[in-house]
Amino acid sequence: MWLYRHRLKHKSLIILILFLVTIMAVNSETSEGYYKGIRVPAEWEPQEAIWMQWPGYWEKDFEYTFAQIAHIISRHEKLHILYRSDQIYLDAQKAIMKMQGNSQSKNIHWHKLPYDNAWMRDNGPIYVLHGNELRIQNWDFNAWGGAFGSNIPFKLDDQVPIKIGKILDIPVDKIDMVHERGNLEFNGSDTVILNWSTISDPKRNLNYNKGQVERDLRKYFGVSRVIFIEGIPDGDLTKGHIDGIARFIDSTTVVIIQCTDQSLCQIDGEDAKIYDSAAEIIEEAGFNVIREPIEGFVEHNNKLFDTNYINWLVGNGFVIAPSFRNYETDAKAKARIETYFPNRKVYMIDMLNSWAAGGGIHCHTNDQPAI
């Protein structure tokens, strides 16, 4: 009897172990299959919509820039605008109408929900396609590693991808890594470019080595190539987001900033080394490289800024690029961008208040790809 009970218990244990192993194998296959089927569309591919978080009282000087952006986007495609209070909603309406826009356009969709800041590129969703299914990846956000001060709130921002998933009724996948969408540049097929100095910041991700990052990004984005540049341009509190340094304009071509004799960044200075190194790394990876020259600088709020136009937004039939209120460099940049995107209308919007705060048009927007 003792032997029978012992064998029965032993047999039950074996069955339990086999069951657990089977479950783990199924989960592993499901996870592996999910990641293998992923693709992140390039920004120039068809979009379903663009999203923005309307600025609140401490970012009030962005408001009329946002109104211009909203007016342009809504003429070309659907625009979702988040507002966190009735007063912000009323202020947004007035600002858009003052810019001769239509705040009640059928293309503008308003959503009242809580958030902290007006930089939706970084705290908003990362949209991925899994076959023909659109999904959201919800990466952790901690306000750029606290770079703008420990008193900057971010917990509401960190929840925005989950709330947008509910609005759109699409799945949300949690990614346990701190990172911002502004430091990810995709070519829509097999490659992502990012700045190692950003993602390796210990105030974002502690003890995260390059091999781990590369494996994770291949898995999460379904890419075969992860290209790291490195270096933090002077004054860049994001620690070098790629959307201020290098941008894909098609699947094989990357535009990269270049210092000149007319720019604050000297052609033999530290910033130039960052940009030149990025160009060399990306070219060695097999991509065509176009250098985007900084041909001047401007003064704003008693500070000097290089005229860096690369932080553009690409949408359905249009591109919005920053203006620096410098007619000569603005005009030259517009002409260059028109050659980068020959089938799209190029708009220039004054972004100096945003630029002084650390970003531009791309940083304030978050594009949702079409299925």
pLDDT digits (tens, 9 = 90+) for 353-370: 999 998 999 999 999 999
Predicted confidence (pLDDT) at residue 252 exceeds the cutoff of 90: yes
Three-state DSSP state, 47: strand
Decide the pairing of beta strands 297-300 and 225-229: unpaired
Please, which residues bridge with residue 192 across strands? 186, 226
Determine whether 205 is exposed, middle or buried from the number of CB atoms within 10 Å of its CB (0-12, 13-18, 19+).
Answer: buried
Residue 57: predicted pLDDT = 81
| pTM score, whole prediction | 0.90
CA torsion sign for 88, 93, 99, 105 is: positive
Tell me which residue of 320, 322, 325 sits closest to 298, measured CA to CA. 325
Rounded Cα gap, residues 106 and 25, in angstroms: 48
| pLDDT tens profile 66-83 | 999 999 999 999 999 999
| pLDDT tens profile 89-113 | 999 999 999 998 899 999 999 999 9
Please, which residues bridge with residue 288 across strands? 253
| pLDDT tens profile 27-38 | 433 344 456 789
Q: Select the more confidently predicted residue: 19 or 230.
A: 230
| pLDDT tens profile 133-164 | 999 999 999 999 999 998 999 999 999 999 99
Please, which residues bridge with residue 73 across strands? none
Instruction: Look up residue 342 and give its DSSP letter.
Output: T
Rounded Cα gap, residues 118 and 130, in angstroms: 29
| pLDDT tens profile 274-332 | 999 999 999 999 999 999 999 999 999 999 999 999 999 999 999 999 999 999 999 99
Residue 26: predicted pLDDT = 38
Please, which residues bridge with residue 349 across strands? 322
Predicted confidence (pLDDT) at residue 210 exceeds the cutoff of 80: yes
Mean pLDDT of all residues in the chain? 91
Please, which residues bridge with residue 228 across strands? 194
Q: In which order are the strands placed within the sheet that holds 108-112?
A: 108-112, 78-83, 47-53, 366-369
Residue 5: predicted pLDDT = 43
Q: Mean of the pLDDT values across residues 207-225? A: 96
Residue 31: predicted pLDDT = 42
Residue 13: predicted pLDDT = 52
Percent of the residues in the chain that have a pLDDT greater than 70, as a whole number: 91
| pLDDT tens profile 182-209 | 999 999 999 999 999 999 999 999 999 9
Residue 145: predicted pLDDT = 96
Residue 333: predicted pLDDT = 98
Residue 7: predicted pLDDT = 47
